[in-house]
Chains A and B, each alone.
Chain A
Amino acid sequence: MKTFTYRTATDVSQGLEPGATFLAGGTNLVDLMKLGVATPDVLVDVTRLGLDEVGDRPGGGLRIGAGVRNSDLAADPRVRRDYPVLSQALLAGASGQLRNMATTAGNLLQRTRCRYFMDATMPCNKHDPGSGCPAREGDHRNLAILGASPSCVATHPSDMAVALAALDAVVRISGPAGERTVPVTELHRLPGDTPDRDTVLEHGELITAVDVPPLGFAARSAYRKVRDRASYAFAVGSIAAAAQVDDGTVTDVRLAFGAVAHKPWRAFVAEEALRGQPATRESFLTAADAELAAAEPLRDNAFKIALIRNLVASVLEGLS
């Protein structure tokens, strides 16, 4: 582990010096530092900036402070009532101890669990640009089927981010150049030929909050996570869904997939295919197929196509 210095941030817009990185719950960053994958010179602790409230927004919806702990957010009565998909996604992740430490922004910014990325002795274009991607020929059973590139087939591991992507949540960002907002669906990048950049954040930009807009029918929403053991495992595939069904017709729907791409995958194509269609298993499968037509599975992860397809049908049937 490389020697580093530590200080606390006093202002959301003060930015970061070169070689510095923000530290919140530390549940992912500290692990990566121990593994030699993350090697910051300076850690800037943002947990004392007071960003730890969940507030009501005028006109509806919630403003979730960047520092709100995952366990607190999952237990928030407004979240449980109005956005069960978000509460379920949070509780599907990690363990009680980790959720007590992990924060909203930190969860969004956690890094891939690709086994090559997590091992500093391996080539990996994400931790060592230009060194290559052994996963494409090697171990990729749990890597991407959508949006990958020759340089990188990693997936984003967050459960919470999948729910936020489905809910049209918006990330509020502060930095030396001012404030801006970015939809969660546009926060994470596809890898292209620069997989070392997970998100569109510039160095020194800090997520201060996540706004979740009002969405009445999200009161009927669900998150379903599939994993290799019953608990304490990253998703092999997941979906976040909310649906409004009137007289047997899907009038509106939100759908996002997890563990299939470098970002939480909002299924816009499937949503479009579903609006106005009868709420039947056949429509759900047709919509899933429309979204998954773009999938390019590798040798060992084609099963994810069938898995996601089944999940879409099963979860939407449950919500109809």
Chain B
Amino acid sequence: MTTTTERAVGQPIGRIEGPDKVRGTARYAAEYQVGDDLAYAWVAQSPVARGTLTGVTVDPLVEADDVLAVLWHGNAPRLGAADDPELAVLQSDRISYRGQALALVVARTLEAARRAAATLSLEIDEEPHDCVLRTEHPDLYTPEKVNPAFPSETTSGDVEAAFAAAPVTVDVTYRTPPLHNSPMEPHATTALWANDDLVLYDSNQHPPGVAAAVATVFELPPERVHVITEHVGGGFGSKGSARPNAVLAAMAARVTGRPVRLALPRQALFSMVGHRTPTIQRVRLAASSDGHLTAIDHLAVSHTSRLFEFAEQTAVSTRHMYAAPNRRTGHRLVRLDMPTPRWMRAPGEAPGMVALECAMDELAVALELDPIELRVRNEPTVEPESGVPFSSRHYVECLRRGAERFGWGDRDPRPKQRREGDWWIGTGMAGATYPTMAQPSTARARRLPSGDYEVSIAATDLGTGARTILTQIAADALGVPVSQVRVRIGDSTLPKASVAGGSSGSASWGWAVTGACQALRSNSSSDEAVFDSTELVQKQEKDGKHAFGAHFAEVRVDAVTGEVRVSRLFGMYAAGRILNPRTARSQFLGGMIMGMGMALHEEAVLDPAMGTWVNHDLAEYHVPAHADVESVEAEWLEEQDDQINPMGSKGIGEIGIVGSPAAILNAVWHATGVRVRDLPARLDKILPHL
């Protein structure tokens, strides 16, 4: 008889699919063998930012033997109305951004499809475009709500009076550039029709959501679309919903009667699948001379496309971070001739906390107060704008414990004091926060004849360890070792799961898995149990639930060149119960390193005249290289929270990128006395002021 003495949750178990990935046997969307008549598709993208497509001419001599179809709005099958206008591919003559899909070539070989696409004549009536985000743009407007459903504006107290009366104020504008998700695995779909059923091998973060969206577009019952997503090579939000590749591949398969594969080239990921909007943020802080905030005012300006209103919730994290009697947050949008922005790791929080946490650092300097102490003095007792008590909040503990572990204590607060050789050295810190969410999901647990258990849910594993963690959760709920649990995910026909987004996957799916496994365990007369968490999730209080953390950075700035290097990056988190320290650590570190990229490297460079970003591969769009990552460490506090989900876990996938860029920017100031308020902090912005 087997008894388990040690709980699986909390153990540093390695990724279950790790060996498959290392051996190359793990299959991704563009790797499935689906018959010997597989065709390949290639997208012809718009070379202009605005206009109309009046015709497409095919050179009949180019790859004539191999080209099976050339689709554009003049001949493409009509699609049903999509919730996301980016999915209405090849349906209209309107061109809304440079890089938009205008035509699709389907051919027997990838090479033929690519070459034929390059030689298509696209007849276009070009119109003047506008791609530049600016605070004085005449078309700025206040959206009704910001993502996903927050009020666009909030206000309490008398902000202007508080500023007029305050002895110390800060009024600063921070700019963050457009950023691109650029996961290692490009967006890809292999599509085939089996009678009237559509099968998609698709790289995404939400198989049931993709199935539903594609079913709507092709006017099918959702159960007729089968999405298989066994492994995903990253998404960072850009695969959170069906992307044009899924619809294009399905359309091509329908027209040609063959299975069709469409893997977007790297360059297309910089237009067709979403990006993080640029932001221009004005933050004003007013404080008493002893460092108590009397007013906070945060206004964020971002762009969206002509196709779709995507309203980044940039100032929302400011609503629950610090106490202040007078407060105001707001958002403005402008529609530009640009691709539609979408989610990118910590949408809202990542750019918003750059402005807030750098402004707090500037306030600490103005007050001659330690930046940690300033934050401690403004710790709220309840969530400031909702008035709801926090389910748990250990922000101050993260600040204190993090400071101790990092060695903050003997810091000279003055800038540009420490020099070693050619290097100016400085340290900085910033707070971190991310909402704790759960979404309704359903899981099924089965007792197999072998005595093992199968647990099924239509979740995905983006490489984060979701499959492993669900196995641990199921093992504990069943009271068996992990070796007796097989978790099935990555298939839309399994019980319905929520999206792998908002750092909510483990909480949402784990909740359903726990329910199903407990039900099975408590009912020995049945070999199967299904649990739907919808009711429990919906009646949960949504406000007051967040993870918190603190980031610390030590940088050195070359006095000769202005080059910035991050010598140390440290994160201390309070994020509920950590389900698997090994995969959790990877999540935290990955977020922090991405935060380093946001602070120092990443930027989509706009050419206003050409109407597009001119860097669109990983040679020119820089993310940190291995050599940029010197010492990076993450630790966490034990935090118990019984108000969030059965596991007591908080989302950890995104908090690492929240505040880490600000910690680095604050350290750059401390090293050099140079405030870079226009990200990324590259040498050309620093060198002239050294």
User: Which residues of A are in contact with B by a Cβ distance under 8 Å?
Assistant: 1-3, 36, 113, 115-116, 118-122, 134, 137-139, 141, 226-233, 236-237, 300, 303, 306-307, 310-311, 313-314
Contacts and interface: CB of A to CB of B under 8 A. Distances in A.
B481 to A, nearest CB: 42
B93 to A, nearest CB: 20
B614 A139 contact: yes
Given A3-B115, A228-B601, A229-B601, A138 B625 contact: no
B614 A116 contact: yes
Interface of B: 47, 111, 114-115, 118, 422, 560-563, 565, 600-601, 605, 607-610, 614-616, 619-620, 622, 624-628, 682-684, 687-688
A313 B682 CA distance: 22
A292 to B, nearest CB: 15
Nearest to A35: B267
A139 B115 contact: no
A115 B628 contact: no
By CB atoms of chain B within 10 A, which of A1, A3, A228 has the most?
A228
Contacts of A227: 563
A3 B625 CA distance: 34
Judged by DSSP, the binding face of A is: loop
Contact of B609 (A113, A137, A303, A306): A137
Given A3-B115, A36-B118, A120-B118, 14 more contacts: A1-B115, A3-B111, A113-B619, A115-B615, A122-B614, A138-B607, A139-B615, A141-B605, A141-B684, A227-B563, A228-B682, A232-B627, A303-B683, A310-B687
A32 B624 CA distance: 24
A255 to B, nearest CB: 16
A120 B45 CA distance: 12
Nearest to B596: A229
Judged by DSSP, the binding face of B is: loop
B118 A229 contact: no
B609 A231 contact: no
B609 A134 contact: yes
A307 B563 CA distance: 10
A200 B272 CA distance: 41
A231 B627 contact: yes
Contacts of B624: 229
A226 B616 CA distance: 22
B66 to A, nearest CB: 11
B427 to A, nearest CB: 19
Contacts of A233: 622, 625
Contacts of A228: 601, 622, 682-683
Given A36-B118, A230-B627, A306-B688, A311 B560 contact: yes
Nearest to B114: A1
A226 B610 contact: no
Nearest to A36: B118
The 6 closest A-B pairs by CB, nearest first: A231-B627, A230-B627, A138-B607, A303-B684, A115-B614, A314-B560
Contacts of B610: 122, 134, 138
Contacts of A232: 625, 627
Contacts of B688: 303, 306
B561 to A, nearest CB: 5
B115 A115 contact: no
A311 B620 CA distance: 24
Given A231-B625, A233-B625, A113 B601 contact: no
B374 to A, nearest CB: 32
